[in-house]
Structure 1
Amino acid sequence: MLRNASEPWHLIVLLGVCVLVFGSKQLPEVARGVGKSMRILKAETRALHPDPPHPAASRPDSREP
């Protein structure tokens, strides 16, 4: 169903619709806002899932007596 969804003319039409809806002067502000939102979302999802312990830290070192 979505095999041909990323053809170049689809992106051109999408960009044209965005320019018509938001105007060419507000597009950088909209893009900045989306970028900030994505960074916040990524930081929050990282905070929900703590990092697993490093595998080398839990493995005993064979060099120690």
Structure 2
Amino acid sequence: MSTTVETPEPDEACAYCGSRIFDHDPICVRDCEEECGSPTYFCNYACLTTYVDERGLTTGNACEWSPEE
């Protein structure tokens, strides 16, 4: 699986809050399960975390764990 890395436009907006990503600490995320689609940009980890939580993107995507084990 390969992908091309490109610098986003200077006015690229955060996928969560709409702020300019380069005014903050930008993060680029790709879904590489299927052909490494277009990147999604976030202005910081707080926006990325909230975006993931609100959409339930981690539900069912973890190993099973039990405190008894």
Whether TM exceeds 0.5 here: the answer is no
TM-score (norm 2): 0.28
More strand by share: 2
Query: Radius of gyration: which is bigger?
Result: 1
Q: State the TM-score, normalizing by the size of structure 1.
A: 0.29
Q: Larger RCO: Structure 1 or Structure 2 (Cα < 8 Å, ≥ 6 residues apart)?
A: 2
